A = this chain, B = another copy of it.
């Protein structure tokens, strides 16, 4: 499996076992891809729906701006992630999809989705996947609402580590995270300055280091405790849980 779609398929394959034919259908659907530069908007609020983006490489985010420029990042889409299939039904988008790091994306339309929906296995995998993404959104609300700055940051890092591990985007206890501190702030509802101070604290505690777009986790077990991270919302299977060191 060397096509650009392999991380996407791998992510979905967590929720179903695909036949060769289904596998092929997914590859076909995402065959036509497009390269996007940072800051490109894949869609903006108010745009019509009917399009569904799959991120094959790079990093994309969902976000929303307030009138005065305050911004909340709603979700990250890493390589292998896709937007929610239900967006095909929405008549106009309520949020924007913005490229954070040069990306390769595929765009599914209603008709290509209809083809995929002929395989109940695929439909179900997508629904389960989207359901997990929704659970992540709920956890983000808890994070932003009720955790302290260092808990927020630690919790996000734990989550991203596990999500990226699932598609082979980590090595040892490290992964690439091409975000500025300001973007982390817009994610966690903290000022960039405070993100900076909090990162230094986590580094001082020898829990995790974030420098040059690299996150290095020095002590996952301790970070997990410090952040109050409970991975159950990620709907992992036993096998994955076991693979991650420092997991309950």
Interface residues of A (CB under 8 A from B): 45-46, 62, 64, 66-67, 70-72, 74, 84, 86-87, 89-92, 94-95, 124, 127-128, 130-131, 134-135, 137-142, 144-147, 188-189, 228, 232-233, 235
Contacts and interface: CB of A to CB of B under 8 A. Distances in A.
A95 B67 CA distance: 32
B138 A94 contact: yes
B235 A131 contact: no
6 contacts: A67-B228, A89-B131, A92-B235, A134-B134, A134-B137, A144-B144
A92 B72 CA distance: 29
Contacts of A138: 62, 64, 74, 94-95, 137
A83 to B, nearest CB: 11
Contacts of A70: 146-147
Q: How many copies does the complex hold?
A: 2
A46 B89 CA distance: 31
A138 to B, nearest CB: 5
B90 A131 contact: yes
Given A86-B130, A134-B84, A138-B74, A92 B144 contact: no
Given A84-B134, A124-B89, A134-B84, A141 B144 contact: yes
A90 B64 CA distance: 28
A46 B135 CA distance: 13
Residue in A46, A64, A124 whose Cβ sees the most chain B Cβ within 10 Å: A64
A94 B232 contact: yes
A232 B46 contact: yes
A86 B127 CA distance: 7
A75 to B, nearest CB: 9
Contacts of A145: 72, 144, 188-189
Contact of A92 (B62, B64, B232): B232
Given A137-B141, A138-B137, A147-B66, A127 B92 contact: no
A86 to B, nearest CB: 4
B189 A146 contact: yes
